[in-house]
Structure 1
Amino acid sequence: MADLIIPVPQPVETKPDRVRWGIVSTVKGSTAQIARFIAYHLDLGADRMHVHLDVPDAAVADRLAHPNVRFIQCDDAYWANRPKRARETHQMRQVFNASRVYRMCKLDWLAHIDVDEFLLPPTSLRDVLANADPNAPFVEIPPCEMMDSAGDPHHFKRACHGTKKRAIYPTYGEYVPGGFISTQSHKLFARTGLKDIRQGIHALRLKNQIVRGGTQIDGLELGHAHAPDFETFQRHLAYRLEKGSYHDRKGRMNPLGHLILALMDDPDPDALRAFHNEMCGASPERLDLLAAHGMLVTRELNLDAKVAHYFGTLEK
């Protein structure tokens, strides 16, 4: 089926001080992780955050209450009378929740991102979105992957290919697409008000056709804390191999997942750690190499300070 280009209703909002943007997300995580995600984006100026708690928890919603945040408890009552298929997998729940919010929200723009992702704009997001191509139905947000470095500044790496990739990752780069141990797929900032749109994880769809005609904005990236340290990498491996980013899909082998399985079976107990060190380690030499190839993004996120500002000291 052919890709689809749809017209954007005109006029669109082009005055930065009047642009309203928000986020929709379906989250699983600790109170601290959810707090960092919310506080960071409130500090960027989010007018509304629709946070779906995939594991219902009224205490989280009470503790992190804020006028710009809407918590949705995804409990049995929420899913009652919804299509059964919409609840079957985490991915389908994400798409259902994002599409529901998209169709009812009154913002100008809505980003569908995860709890371990951070928008990294080059300047004010209102300025960025106000100056986007007025005929583009969405803005693509390319990912950059958070590296293993404690505290601010946080370092992220961009995807790379060919000789660059082999130079930066000499042992495993050949087997890791783009040099990312997470997805290379872009997320989207979607213009709202497009009729019958389904807001997916990496695309907008209209009647099962992928909507095209989006644009990119220089310097707007999405920092992804997929495996920012070895402990996080290990903790999520079982899920990601069974249901997440490392599992085989629709009869297609996932090469990265199979590489990780082989490393887990390696007689060397440090094989998996060596893989993570090469792909995510932030040694001075690795940072210099990434910078030399234009692959390094460095930002101060100030997550703890932002959480303290919006929510005070979180209980242990």
Structure 2
Amino acid sequence: MSGARPALLSAKAAQRRWLPEGRRGPMPWIIAIMMFLTVLAAACALGLGHALWKMRGDMAGGYTVQIVEANAAKRAEMVRQVEGFFHAETSVRSYRVVLESRLREQLAPWLGEEAQSGDLPIPALIDLSLKPDVSPSKIEEIRREIITRAPSARIDAHQSYLAPVEALMRALMWAAAALVALMLLVTGAVVVLAARSTHDAHRGTIDIMHMLGATDLQIARLFQRRIALDALLGAIVGTIAAAALLWLLDRNLAAAGSELAALIALPWRSAAVLLGLPIFAMLVAAVTARITVMRALERSL
């Protein structure tokens, strides 16, 4: 029994040498390129999805109340009445009256010195934030109460400002997800071509293995193992290259001090998904190679 095990191991090693080293061919590097693009597209889709979720959370329940009144005294009285209502309303999470001086500073780039003139009426702005569980009927009731106290008031939801941006980001997210699916399909097609090419190139070796008693399943496992290892090599190389590029982009965004960096930063769960793509690519390659070789062997009988 002690001599049978080394003999069995040497036989398996000899069987593995019947197939050429796949790393000498182009398939691992093609898969590396495909995985590089797949990781970038997946990161884009996950980043946009996280940004949409964060934007919805930040903008949910946010409103801007604009009181347009030329008479400063009447405008101030309307603001006080609306503030009193907000202070007593339990559905209001927070509110803040924007200082008139701040508004004039923001208008200065467009109006110049006229922005500081007291003759220029400036609408009063109130940032309002409602609690997350407020019903639509309650929101409509709050609108009516505001209009009652300030007939010239305009209430705008923060989400309405970002609706076009949100639609664009959602379209880009689904486009990136579709690109990931397309890249995986192309990777599978590359594996199919590689498996068929290897099978056709080694028909004589396969016939000898059949005469020696090897089954189709045993032969398919040889192809499956070799192609899976080559796919894993290419997937790891592509993933490392994509991760390095994403890291450089993240550093550049952080150095610029842009709020976009915090918005699209991937959480650790999304990063784990990206790191799991090489394993998934290897499994896809292994299953695809096995099915392709088994069908080829069945047709050759």
Provide TM-score, normalisation by structure 2. 0.22
Which fold has the larger relative contact order, with Cα–Cα distance below 8 Å and residues 6 or more apart in sequence? 2
**TM-score normalised by structure 1 residue count:** 0.21
The structure carrying a bigger helix percent of its residues is 2
Structure showing greater Rg: 2
